[in-house]
Amino acid sequence: MAAAVFVVPQSALAAAEVTLPSGLVGYLQEVITQPGTSAPTYRYRYVAPDFSRPGDLTTVVVDLEYLCAEKALPDLPEDASDGTRIIVSLADQPTEFGVATPEATQVFEAFRVENGRCMWEEF
């Protein structure tokens, strides 16, 4: 089964603004759902135009954890279960998923849902 992409309409971007713990302001670019053998994966792709090459990775991780716990997790379907994966990305500009964009600054982290919480998945 192919991935489903849900793009947030431009008119909704202002309403979808989110202020991150670091102070960056961003918006949700799109959500991509991918079925899995045991549980699906949801990719939440955020853009914060003022995001730049991270010097302090701790700050970036806090932002990504916030996006998972406060934005992605509550947005999951009611039947999402333990083992569901959430991948949160943050970029300085919109990018096309799966297409190399060397001029973009982008980071991502993977989490799994466990007991209703986002648990970081170390690669």
pLDDT in tens, 41-83: 999 999 999 998 777 788 999 999 999 999 999 988 887 788 8
Q: Which long-range contacts (CB under 8 A, 24 or more apart) does 54-58 make?
A: 54/107
pLDDT tens-digit readout, 75-122:
888 877 888 999 999 999 999 999 999 999 999 999 999 999 999 987
Query: For residue 13, is pLDDT > 50?
Result: no
Question: In the prediction, which pLDDT does 3 show?
Answer: 60
Is there a contact between 18 and 25 (Cβ–Cβ < 8 Å)?
Answer: yes
Query: For residue 30, is pLDDT > 70?
Result: yes
More confident residue, 118 or 3: 118
CA gap 93, 110 in Å, rounded: 20
Q: pTM for this one?
A: 0.85
Is there a contact between 26 and 46 (Cβ–Cβ < 8 Å)?
Answer: yes
Question: In the prediction, which pLDDT does 11 show?
Answer: 47
